[in-house]
Structure 1
Amino acid sequence: MAKKVLIVSNSSDLHADLVVPILIGKGCTPFRLDLDRFPRDYELCQRFRQGEWGGDLRHLPSDQRVGMGEIGAVWARKPAEYAFRSADLSAQESAYAKQETEQALFGLLMALDCFWIGHPSAVRAAMWKGEQLKRAMALGFRVPATIVSNAPARVRAFRQGVPGDIVFKSMSTPALGADEVAEALRQTGGIGTTIVSEEMMDNIDAVGELACQFQEYIPKQYELRVTIIGEQLFAAKIHSQDDARTMVDVRDMAAEIRYEATTLPAEIERRCRAFVAGYGLQFGALDLIVTPDGEHVFLENNPAGQFLYIEQLIPEFKLLETLADTLLRGAA
């Protein structure tokens, strides 16, 4: 019997929405677990008895079921807040419900011995920006001169030691936590990579509150988004310097800059593949700078990064289909 694919994400994930029909078209009906509707819309059971283990999931609205022994591949896409059947849980009840749900669900999923795209332990190991920079240097990449510190004097000394500009770049999210609180409680929508002005340096004592990351600003010829899915590598050349809005931070999608397919030098491709494989991952989305002198500079890797926009901008990159095919090969 052919093994099945389990997709773990949330109901707002367009990536999962588009991969599901591709899998169905290839003869595989996946089981989708939307965490923002779990456990409200699902039943879970895990059993241990006389040396045997088993478990299953059931989607209540559709009555779709999957046994753990049927699963050959898991795509862990995006997290979400859990949903419970009772809407009036107290603060303590809600906190406990979340903790127990986490134990029940991941106690089941982490027991699976199958192919994963985005195994939670591997993704967690790969998400730390400081460790990424160290690993990239070990592979031969140049990385920007960087300091992460909550010591204002050390940040000032770093600034004085860099010949050009420096930038502030959030290590966790450019939303600065706005996505974690109710809209009425948000103080700012966030901040992207930002060149540090003299006015900001005058207020640098504020970093004493928490450690912040500062890097030398690297002049760019263009940027690269390198997406690795299984054995396939897709390199997108991003003409970020064509628009003032993307010169410092390429993430302003309102700017209609050019994206095009490109080929990496063999050594750079080797380093990118080795970087992702070193974590035991089947997926990675790496951001690189190419300087005016043609040097490749590593910025970061996104172990569960977005990739649909790359396919939309470069239609010849069949990323969704490659993802589906990789899951099916892994399940087989």
Structure 2
Amino acid sequence: MTKRILIITERADVHADLVADRILAKGHRPFRLNLDEFPARFSLDLRFADGAWTGSLLHQPSGDTLWLSDIGAVWTRKPAEFAFDSEDLGAQEKAYASEETEHVLLSLLHSLSCFWMSHPIAARAAQWKGEQLLRAAAMGFEVPRSLIANRPEPVLQFRHAEGGDIIFKTLASPYLGADKVSPDECVAVGIATTRITDEYVAMIDGIGEVPCFFQTHIPKQFEVRVTVIGDRAYSAKILSQSDPRTVTDFREFSVAIPYEAFTLPEDVERRCIAFVHSYGLSYGALDLIVTPQGDYVFLENNPGGQFLFVEQLVPELKLTDAVAERLIQGAADGR
């Protein structure tokens, strides 16, 4: 019997929509667990006996039932807040319900023996950008000199030592918490990677509230987005220097800069794949700089990074197919 693929995400996830369609087109039936419908739209019947969990998860609207014994692969695509039958839960009631639901779900998931893209424990261990720099350097990547500080003096000293050319970037998220609050509570939508010019130095006292991350500015010839799926790496060349608005941060998606399919040097490609695998991950999205001298500089790896925008801009990189095929293969062989 063909094992099923469990996709854990939310309703508004185009990545999951497209991958699920490809999995269906290849003759397999995914089961989608939208966390923003869970547990309100699902029925659980899970039992522990004789040293094992058995049972099922029923999606009430569709009637689709997923038996634990049928799960061959899990794609942990996107988190979301849980949904409950009652919409008027008090603050403490909702806190208890959320904690208990998370405990049940993670207990279930962590008990599975199957293929993961990627396991929650591995993905969480891989997300810390400060540790990534240490690991990348140990694996032979060139890594920018960096500083973490919450006082002006070390930042000014670092800027002077780097010839006055440093950048600020966020570590957890560029959204500045905007995605964690309601629209009426939002005061800023985010911040891009920013060069610390004299204008910003005049405001440097503002870093006292939160530890801030700075790096030496690395001149760019172009940038590369490397998407590792299983044992393969798919690379896109990003000509970010072609427009002044994307010179420092290519993630200004309102600007139409060129993207091209790109072939990494073999040693760099092997290192990217090895870096992702070193965490026990089967997926990762790495950002690299290529300097005017042709050196490759590691910036970061996102263990759950978006891939659809890359495929839309470089259609020959069949990333959606690659994800679907890796999940199908993982479900078939269990690893």
TM class by shorter chain equals over 0.9
Structure 2 counterpart SS, 1:23: helix
1:297 aligns with 2:303: no
1:35 aligns with 2:12: no
Partner of 1:326: 326
Cα distance in 2 for partners of 1:69, 1:147 equals: 48
Partner of 1:117: 117
What value does the CA root-mean-square deviation take over the aligned residues? 1.0
- Calculate the TM-score normalised by the size of structure 1: 0.98
- CA deviations on 1:149-174 (whole Å, 9 max, x unpaired) are 22322222111111241111010111
Kindly report which structure 2 residues correspond to 1:86-235, keeping only aligned pairs within 5 A, or say none. 86-235=86-235
Verify the 8 A CA contact 1:147 1:213 in the aligned structure 2. yes
Cα distance in 2 for partners of 1:199, 1:283 equals: 39
Cα distance in 2 for partners of 1:194, 1:130 equals: 18
The code of the aligned residue for 1:192 comes to A
Kindly report which structure 2 residues correspond to 1:300-311, keeping only aligned pairs within 5 A, or say none. 300-311=300-311
Cα distance in 2 for partners of 1:103, 1:314 equals: 40
- CA deviations on 1:63-116 (whole Å, 9 max, x unpaired) are 100111100000110001111110100000011111001001111111100000
The code of the aligned residue for 1:162 comes to E
Cα distance in 2 for partners of 1:220, 1:319 equals: 26
Cα distance in 2 for partners of 1:103, 1:52 equals: 18
The code of the aligned residue for 2:174 comes to P
The runs of at least 4 aligned residues of structure 1 exceeding 4 Å deviation read none
Cα distance in 1 for partners of 2:99, 2:136 equals: 35
Alignment coverage as a number of residue pairs: 332
1:244 aligns with 2:248: no
Report the Cα offset of residue 46 of structure 1. Answer: 2.3
Structure 2 counterpart SS, 1:122: helix
Q: Say which is worse superposed, 175-184 or 155-164, in terms of deviation.
A: 155-164
Kindly report which structure 2 residues correspond to 1:61-72, keeping only aligned pairs within 5 A, or say none. 61-72=61-72
Partner of 2:79: 79
Verify the 8 A CA contact 1:55 1:108 in the aligned structure 2. no
Verify the 8 A CA contact 2:35 2:80 in the aligned structure 1. yes
Report the Cα offset of residue 50 of structure 1. Answer: 3.3
Q: Say which is worse superposed, 11-20 or 144-153, in terms of deviation.
A: 144-153
Verify the 8 A CA contact 2:232 2:273 in the aligned structure 1. no
Structure 1 counterpart SS, 2:144: coil
